[in-house]
Amino acid sequence: MNKKALSILMRARMKPNNDRTNLSLSHLPLTNAASQTQQQNSRQNGSPAGANSVPNDSGNAEREFKRVRASMDSAISMNKTEIQDDVLNNFSEGYFSLSHENRRKLLLVLAREYDVNRSQIREMIKQYLGLELPADKAQVGSSEDEALFSSFHRIERNLRLALQPVYEVLFERLNTHPGGLRFLSILRADILSILAEENISSLRALDSYLRDKLSTWLSPAALELHQITWDDPASLLEKIVAYEAVHPISNLLDLKRRLGIGRCCFGYLHPAIPGEPLIFIEVALLQNIAQTIQEVLWDSPPIPESEATCALFYSISSTQPGLAGINLGKFLIKRVVKLVKREMPHISTFATLSPIPGFMPWLLSKVASQTVLAEGDNMSQPQADGSSSTFYENILKPEEEEALMNLPKDIAPGKNGMEVMFNLLTSTSYKWIHSPEILSALKIPLMRLCARYLLQEKKRGKALDSVANFHLQNGAMVERINWMADRSEKGLSQSGGIMVNYVYRLEHIEEYAQSYFSDGKIQASSDLHRCVEGILEGK
């Protein structure tokens, strides 16, 4: 094994856990931040690192918080450009030394004490409302009218400035500071983590403002599209291994194959965050649209790129939790489509093989609530999209019910078809995927219900499934759903192993995106629509 491969392998073993909910997104883990600070303070005070001195530790943490807060105050108020870098360094480095609770405290100080001056805004609004517009704008021209409009313009300008929160100064200065953009993304990841637990309006306003700023600074014009290959530095490749969120990279052979013949990987890089893709997409060059992830990752040997007619996007992963809600993927897909079309004109089909992460949670919630209604225990059960159902609906057709009830009771127990299906799908052993009899009984209802979920189930007028919503708003159409396309534990728990192909038809991308955005219209193939019509007729 060469040094590069060994480096990637060793670093990949340190893959971050994307499911963690604590504020552990900085270069210094929060779980260790407080203890490391305490150890440093203990050494400075001459006491043993392991000494038990809780009151002193508490005092050290408070002093550290005050020190970091002072550096934040200086970073906002300081006007001497020659020392701003030192102040910003002190703030960002000090922030990483804080405990979970002290970061939360500091962010609340920033959100509340450096917000807009509402008393000043109210006074300006009163002045503005006190001005009287000329009766006829077309006749404006006298010196008195010009003076009047000068007053309007002055107050409007001052009002625009007053509506900008004071913390904007900190964000702007950090954005131009070396390492500042990455620090801001970490800062926002911490904010999002707090908001996931507490709905604090001032912090939500801070998050909204920072998200808008990051969206501007990370516009497509500021990003570099880079094709990631095996020749890239090991430090970059290990990030691909670490942050692959859809289909984990199992070993070096897997990584090398994804970057080899018939496969491409593209990422967005930003000059302020060198050597780390903000988001990356993996592409397989095929003769036909793949129906299973197995044939993409392992089964079929790659074909020569000159023989490919289809570019299949099979994984897209973001590396920065703090950039959530900033749709970099939309721009990345469109740029990759244009690049591939330009460099490989023989590619005529652009499609995806995508997971359906919300299908199984929706289905199990639906079955559970309908089972309760059938028993007459409750006439109003919450659904996955937040709505409620006050009527009983047997989601299975008679022939599907019969097929499920005919399964051996020792492997598929239940009083009715929905209960049998629920028991099978909630089994963590997933033994049902090895039984042809059970697969045959489940395939028809699950495929039908999956089509219904993708095309009919909505939230605020848009597709309920997050991945579906992403591709539909980018201008794709739902082409086909594929049975047992992902037999991994993740694929089975998310969607019963079903995956979906979205197709990007270049001549219709903008039209489809606009109709989905305006009317929530989901474009789908005739096969999918026939499936949905069958569901409606069966109700």
Tokens matching residue 386? 């937040």
Tokens matching residue 37? 């600070």
CA 317/CA 346 separation, integer angstroms: 27
Which candidate, 497, 27, 14, places its Cα nearest to that of 291?
497
| Residue tagged 């949670």 (tokens) | 361
Which candidate, 257, 219, 248, places its Cα nearest to that of 335?
219
Catalytic residue numbers, as ranges:
354, 471
- H/E stretch holding 204 reads helix 201-217
| Residue tagged 């028993």 (tokens) | 375
CA dist 279 → 331, 398, 437, 469 (Å) = 11, 46, 42, 18
CA 454/CA 355 separation, integer angstroms: 12
* 310-318 and 349-352 beta bridge pairing: parallel
CA 231/CA 4 separation, integer angstroms: 10
Tokens matching residue 218? 């990370």
What are the DSSP calls for 101-112, one per residue? HHHHHHHHHHHH
Tokens matching residue 476? 């794709």
Reported as half-sphere exposure (CB side, CA atoms, 13 A), residue 48 has a value of: 3
Q: Is 283 helix (H, G, I), strand (E, B) or coil?
A: strand
CA 314/CA 312 separation, integer angstroms: 6
Neighbouring C-beta atoms of residue 91, cutoff 10 Å: 25
What are the DSSP calls for 246-294, one per residue? SS---SHHHHHHHTSTTEEEEEEEBTTBTT--SEEEEEEEESS--S-HH
CA 22/CA 128 separation, integer angstroms: 46
In which region does residue 444 sit, left (phi positive, over 0), alpha (psi from -120 to 50) or beta (all else)? alpha
* Residues recorded for the chain: 539
Instruction: Answer positive or negative: Cα dihedral of 464, 468, 473, 478.
Output: negative
Tokens matching residue 298? 């392992």
